[in-house]
Amino acid sequence: MSEVRGRGASRARGFIRGRGRGPWRGGGPRRTERLADGGAQNVSTASGSNAATESSTKPPKPQRPPRPPFEGPLYDWSLATPKPTLHYLCTCEDADAAIVDIISRNPPAMGFDIEWRPQFLPKQPENPVALLQLASEEDIYLFQITSMREFPASLQDFLDSTDTSKVGVAINGDASKLFRDYRVDVRGCIDLSLLARTVDSRWTGKYNKPIGLAHLTETYLERGLQKGRISRSDWQAQLSEAQQNYAANDAHAGLMIWKALMQRAEAMTPVPDPDWYSFSLRGGVLRDDNDRPWFPFNPNYSGVDREEPKQLKAAAASATMMLD
């Protein structure tokens, strides 16, 4: 190495030994520490906020790998046994006749779902429910509400009855939207996600976390469920055959999942309390069979979220609250 000479030599040696006065580039105030040979070096002390940030930085949570795509056949309501009859209803008179037919058959449960046209304009209200689907093993009814002069009173009375349960995924959200749009109550609701978490220990996570209808269909029916752009199509226009099949599949698959899950429930000892997964929506409020406020809670759930929710504790304190 060549020897350092000239006026820059002392400055170079100063920087080497910490005596230089070059620009400070540290992250905090500069202080001087003595070296063993009598020299000094400049060291930085990180500011309190920086130190706290560094010490409190947590490694990111590991991401759960995405669920692999389902490679089996797609669900098709028309291949079910018995093969259901599909009814596309656009008038109040047709709706009334359909409700008479449903009541005469008195099914214990029906698959329930709704569709509405997406709102693509910013800061605009959501479009109202356009289509309401009800599915039994023998019949699938597609009520296109926006094509009718009013919400059929017979359909409203049927939804407000507990004689037939209405089953679906995140059904509390669908029932709430139906109430917001048409002031219609829906009683006798069964949430398939809650029912699945109640009877099948494979599911983990929070008890009230929804499990998608497609995931449930793959798990219990071993079929895929078509999703994609058609779910965001115009449900207020005359429905195409593809739209009708999509809507029919959702409602009918929900019913078949309910049957599979109820077989598990009936084989359990003791049989699970229906209050853990069923409720009614009255006046825009979720309520149990005793007309008390209802919240999703299962004391025997084996997942990670077993603590009684604060809402349930508050509801217990105000259990005497009734509808006006």
Name the nearest CA neighbour of 113 among 207, 268, 292, 235: 235
**pLDDT at residue 163, as a whole number:** 96
For 6, phi then psi, to 5°, come to 85, -170
Structural domain contains residue 41:
no
Structural domain contains residue 128:
yes
pLDDT in tens, 33-45: 444 444 445 544 4
Higher-pLDDT residue of 309 and 323 is 309
Query: Which residues face 166 on adjacent strands?
Result: 110, 189
Share of the chain above pLDDT 90, in %: 67
Structural domain contains residue 7:
no
Structural domain contains residue 9:
no
- One-letter amino acid at 73 equals P
Sign (positive/negative) of CA torsion 221, 223, 227, 233? negative
Q: Which domain holds residue 238?
A: 77-317
- Convert 151-166 to b/e letters by CB count within 10 Å (16 or more is b): bbebbbebbeeeebbb
**pLDDT at residue 310, as a whole number:** 55
Share of the chain above pLDDT 70, in %: 74
Structural domain contains residue 62:
no
Here the CATH number for the domain that contains residue 145 is 3.30.420.10
**pLDDT at residue 226, as a whole number:** 86
**pLDDT at residue 70, as a whole number:** 74
| Tokens standing for residue 86 | 């599909």
pLDDT in tens, 233-288: 999 999 999 999 999 999 999 999 999 999 999 999 999 999 999 999 999 999 99
**pLDDT at residue 272, as a whole number:** 96
CA distance linking residue 128 with residue 236, whole number of Å: 9
Structural domain contains residue 16:
no
Burial class (CB in 10 A: 0-12, 13-18, 19+), 206: middle
pLDDT in tens, 169-215: 999 999 999 999 999 999 999 999 999 999 999 999 999 999 999 99
Q: Residue with structure tokens 């978490």?
A: 197
Higher-pLDDT residue of 216 and 307 is 216
Structural domain contains residue 30:
no
Structural domain contains residue 144:
yes
- Tell me how many domains the chain contains: 1
Q: Looking at 11-25, 73-87, 216-230, 275-289, which range is the least confident one?
A: 11-25
| Tokens standing for residue 128 | 């109202």
Long-range contacts of 172-175 (CB under 8 A, 24+ apart): 172/279, 172/281, 172/286, 174/112, 174/113, 174/114, 175/281
pLDDT in tens, 78-105: 999 999 999 999 999 999 999 999 999 9
- One-letter amino acid at 221 equals L
